[in-house]
Amino acid sequence: RWPGMPSVYRHRSLTKATTHGNSHAVRGTFTIMSGASFSPALQDKSSADFKVLSFDIQQMLSEIFQTSELKNEYKTSEVLQLKNGSVIVEFNLFFAQWVSDETTKNELVLGIEANKSSLLQTFTIDVNSIEITEQFTTSNSLTTSALCLPADKPCADAVTCIRRDLFCDGVPNCPDGSDEHEKTCATSCDGKFMLTDPVGSFYSINYPQPYNSNIVCRWIIHVTQGLFIKLNFSSFDTQKYADMLNIYEGVGPSKVLRASLWGTNPGTIRVFSDKATVEFVTDYAINYNGFNATYTTFNRSELNSKYTPKINCSFEDGFCYWIQDLQDDDEWERISGPTFPFMSGPDYDHTFGNLSGFYISTPTGPGSGQERVRIFSLPLVPDSDLLCLSFWYHMYGVNVYRLSINITYGHDMEKTIFQREGNYGNNWNYGQITLNETSDFMISFDAFKNRGLSDITLDDIGLTRGICKESAYPEPTLVPTVPTTPQLPTDCGGPLELWEPNATFSSKNYTNNYPNLASCVWYLNAEKGKNIQLHFQYFDLENIYDVVEIRDGGGTDSLLLAVYTGRGPLPDVFSTSNQMTVLFITDKSGTKSGFLANFTSGYHLGLPEPCGPNYYQCDNGECIPRVNLCDQYIQCQDGSDEAECVRLVNGSLSIDGLVQFRVENKWHIACADSWSEQISSSVCRLLGLGNTNASSPTLFVGNGPFVKVTTAANHSLILSPRYKHSTKIVGGTDANEGAWPWMVSLYYNSKHTCGASLVSDEWLVSAAHCVYGRNLIPSLWKAVLGLHTTLNLTNPQTVIQEVDQIVINPHYNKRTKNSDIAMMHLQVRVNYTDYIQPICLPEKNKQFLPGINCSIAGWGRIENQGSVANILQEAEIPLITNKKCQQQMPEYNITENMMCAGYDEGGIDSCQGDSGGPLMCQVNDKWFLAGVTSFGYQCALPHRPGVYAKVTKFVDWIKNVIH
C-alpha cells in the first residue's frame, strides 16, 4: 500500500477482482541448470511436458514475488516458451504499476538465493543468466492474486475470485470454467486431469522409477451416466501410512472418501458412481516406485436386485463390493500369508488354505490402544425369502477382543446379530446367521482390537437364499482367558513392547544361559518423528545357530537392519523410523549367556544432517556443491558423486539405447566421433553389463547437448562437452572347464557352502540365506573364482579372494524366503581371463518367459542329502509360471520377487550346496543372470520346481550397491 492508503482492500470479502487501468508487464529470461532437462516436447505448448514444467515455473515465480518487496504490485506470470540450453525460460511478469528492470531482477535474484520457493529444492537457477529484456503495457484484465483474499484465487477472466480448493475439483465454479481447464489442472504426475473415456489409465510421477517427495496429483474420472467405475493396478508400491492414493466417490466439495491405499497389493477398487476423484499425496521422504492404474466401467443395473455380487467375497480380487468405513479408527488390511509377527493371526487364508490366498485382517502388529474397524455392504432390498449369511473368522491370542456383525437401517438404527469375544484358537472358524429383514438394510462387520497382538481376520463371506442349514462344522471353543502357554515373546526376559524410560531388555535367564527353541519379539517405540539407537551392553550367543535379528519398523514391511550372532562387542544399530523390531531365535541345542540391550530415542540419531539447497548428499552423509556431481573429480570420500555418471536413455540398466554422460550435472549424448571398441567396453563396464558389447553410430536429430568421448594415456575417459540356499545340481553333467566363467564357489570356514555369480570385477551376487548369521565377520568367507574341480584349488586359472563386505537385501525375510538375495565385495579386484568373466545383468523390464530353457550350475549335492560334486555340474531346465509354481509349492507364498524352473517329471534340479548360484538364460548369444538359487522341496522331485530370487526385481538395488 502507498502510505496513508486505507486498508479496505485487505479486509473485505471479495468475489470480484477488478483491475482499473492498464497493467505493466516485464519480459525476461533465465536458465534452469538442473531439475529439468530439455526435450523436443518442451517446444510444443500443447504438450503435457510443457504444461507441467510451465506450471511449476509459474508457481515458483509467484512464491518468490508474493514474499518480496513487490508483493503488493505483483499480479501474475506466464511462461512464453522453453528453449534448449539446459532449459532457457522466457517469461512475462505482470505488475499493477511500473517497476524498474533493476528492481525486478534484484527481487528475483534475492528470492532465488533465499530459496523463497519450495520448488527451488528441485530447480537450480543460474542467477547470472537472469535478464530483463523488455517492458510493455497491456490493457487486458489479468489474473491477479493481489486483489483476491489469500485463501482465494482469480479465474481466467481476472474478475471472479473463488476458493483455491475449488480449482481442479471436477466442478466448474468460474463463470468461464477456467478452474477446470486441462491446461490449469494437468497433473505433474502424468500430465492428465480429466479422464472421460470408458477405459483409461494414470500413473504416479516417474513411474516405474521412484516418485518425488511433497507432490499432490489429482485426476477426475467421469464416465457415462448409469455406469460405475472399477480401478485395477498392474503395479502398486508406496510408503506405508505415508504416501497415499485417496479415492473419492463423486467430485467437488460433496465427494466422499471411499479408500486410502498405501503399501502393496490393493486389489480391485470399485466406486459406485459415474464420477470419481483420485488424489496421490506424498510426504517429504522415502519414495517408492509408485503405481500404474487402469480404470474400466461396470453396469450398475447388475447390482440393483442381486444379493450375491454385493456380498460374496473371498478377497482374492480386493474387497469386492464391501466398503471400508473411513469414519472408524483404522482400516481392514488385505494380506496373504501369516500375520506379523507369527502366532498373532492365521498362517494362511481360508479359501485356498495356503500362503498365496488373501484374507482381511485388523491392522497387523501391536495396537496402540483399543480401536474399531468396520466394513459394510451396499444397501440390500429385502424380498420374501429368508437369507443365510455365512463367513469364516479367525480370533487367536490372549489379547484378542471382539467381532460383531450388525444390521444397519436408515436414520442410524442398528442391531447386532452376531458377536464373539476372546481367543478361539489358531483355527479358521465357521459362522452363519439367518436373516429375515423387511426393510432396506446393510450388513457391517465390526472388529475391536486391543493393545498388543490381537488380530481378527475374515474370509469367504457369502449370502444365499433360504434358512441356514445345520452347520457341518463344530462350534468353536473359547480358550480360557488365562493362557496355559506363555504368550509371545516365548522364553524372553522382557515385555513385548518397550517405551522409554523402560528401555532395557535381555534374553531369558540373563546372565545365566538362555533356553533352546526360543522365539522372541520386542517392539521398541519412540515418539513420532524420532528414531531409535539400539545398544548391546553384553552379547554372547551360540555362533551362527542362535541369532538376534533387528528390523527397521514393525510389521511385514519392516526392513532388515542387522543380524547379530556370536560374541560382542557389536556396533549400535539405528532405525530410520520411530519403531524397531528385535527378534531373538535359538535352535534346539547349544546355549550361551545371552544378551543385555537398551535403547534411546532422539532426532536424526546416527543419521547425517540433511544438506542444504543446491548441495548433494553423498552416501556417507557428506555435503558437496551439486555442480560438482560427475565432474570427474571425487569430492565425496566414498566416491558416490562419481558413481552414476553414465546411462542409456531408455532405462536404468538397459542394454540398448543412446549413451549419455553426466557433465556438470547435465546429461550429454555421446558423439560417435572418436568412438572406439575400448570406449565401448569401458561404458559397458560402467553400466554393469560386462565386456561383451556391440555399439554402432546412429543419426540423432535432437538438439543435444552432446559430449565427445576420448581416452587418456591411462585409459580413463576424457569428456569434452559440445553444444548444438543352500541348494547341487541333481541330474546334471560335468561342465567343460571355463564354460561358466562367472561361477564362484563360496567357502565358509574352509568348506564349500554356497555358489555365487560374478557381476563386476569386485562384486558377487548370492543368496541372502547363505550369509544370514554369517555376515558379521566377512573375512571368514573366501570366494574361489575360475574353479572347475574342488579337488584342485591350486590350478593356475583359479583365484581365491577374501570377502570384506556383505550386503543383505533389506527386504529379505528369512521366514517367508522373500527377497533372498545378497551381495559380497571382494577385497581385491579380479583381472578378467578366459576363466573369469562377469555375467550380464538384465534390464529391469526384461522378461524371461515361461517355457524357455535356462541353465543352472553348481558344486552342490547330486541327490537329496547325497554326496557333493567335485566337478562343476551343469543342467538345463525350463521356466514355469509363478501360478503353476504356487500350485506345486502350496506350503510357500510364491511372490513377484521369485521365479521358478523345473520339469514336471523332476529328475533335474539344484540341491543343497547350490544356493546362491545362478539361473542363467541366453538371449542373442549373451548370458544373463535371471535368478539366484533360493529354495525348493528336497531336490528334483516330480511337480516340485526350484525357486529362485528374480534378479530383474533387484537390478536397481544391485546397481546402487556396486556404485
The catalytic residue positions are: 769, 820, 915
**CA-to-CA dists, residue 262 to 239, 289, 769, 954, angstroms:** 6, 12, 29, 21
Distance CA 504, CA 500 (A): 9
Return the beta strands (E) in 197-274 as ranges: 200-203, 216-222, 227-238, 244-249, 256-261, 263-264, 269-271
Q: What is the dihedral of CA 614, 618, 622, 625, to 10 degrees?
A: -30
Q: Longest Cα pair distance anywhere in the chain, in angstroms?
A: 98
Count CB neighbours of 603 within 10 A: 10
Q: How far apart are CA 948 and CA 934, in angstroms?
A: 5
Angle between helices 101-113 and 48-65 (to 10 degrees): 100
Pairing type for strands 763-766 and 926-935 reads unpaired
- Any idea how long the chain is? 963
* Beta bridge partner(s), residue 866: none
Q: What cell does 528 get? A: 513420532
Q: How far apart are CA 149 and CA 147, in angstroms?
A: 7
Q: Distances from the Cα of 337 to the Cαs of 350, 556, 806, in angstroms?
A: 11, 10, 29
- Cβ neighbours of residue 358 closer than 8 Å, sequence gap 6 or more: 265, 267, 314, 315, 316, 334, 335, 336, 349, 351
Asked if 496 contacts 387 with a C-beta cutoff of 8 angstroms, the reply is no
Using CA atoms, how far apart are residues 855 and 843, in angstroms rounded to an integer? 19
Rg (CA), the chain: 32
- Asked if 466 and 388 touch (Cβ cutoff 8 Å), the reply is yes
d(CA 453, CA 554): 12
Report whether 596 contacts 510 (CB < 8 A).
yes
Q: Enumerate the H helices of 439-551 as residue ranges.
A: none
Q: What is the C-alpha to C-alpha distance for residues 53 and 825, in angstroms, rounded to an integer?
A: 42
CA–CA distances in Å: residue 570 to residues 515, 548, 768: 22, 12, 21
Q: How many C-beta atoms lie closer than 10 Å to residue 325's C-beta?
A: 16
Instruction: Calculate the alpha carbon distances from 47 to 56, 198, 224, 617 in Å.
Output: 15, 23, 27, 33
| Neighbouring C-beta atoms of residue 931, cutoff 10 Å | 27
- Residue 55: name the closest of 166, 176, 188 by CA: 188
Q: Are 900 and 882 in contact (CB under 8 A)?
A: yes
Confirm if 679 and 693 have CB atoms less than 8 A apart. no
How far is the C-alpha of 592 from the C-alpha of 604, rounded, in Å? 34
Q: Are 170 and 182 in contact (CB under 8 A)?
A: no
Residue 753, Cβ neighbours under 10 Å: how many?
20
What is the four-CA torsion angle of 143, 144, 149, 155, rounded to 10 degrees?
0
Contact yes or no for 920/914 (Cβ under 8 A) = no
Bridge partners (DSSP) of residue 463 are 389
Count Cα neighbours of 496 within 13 Å in the Cβ-side half-sphere.
18
Q: For residue 287, which amino acid is it?
A: N
Amino acid at residue number 816: T
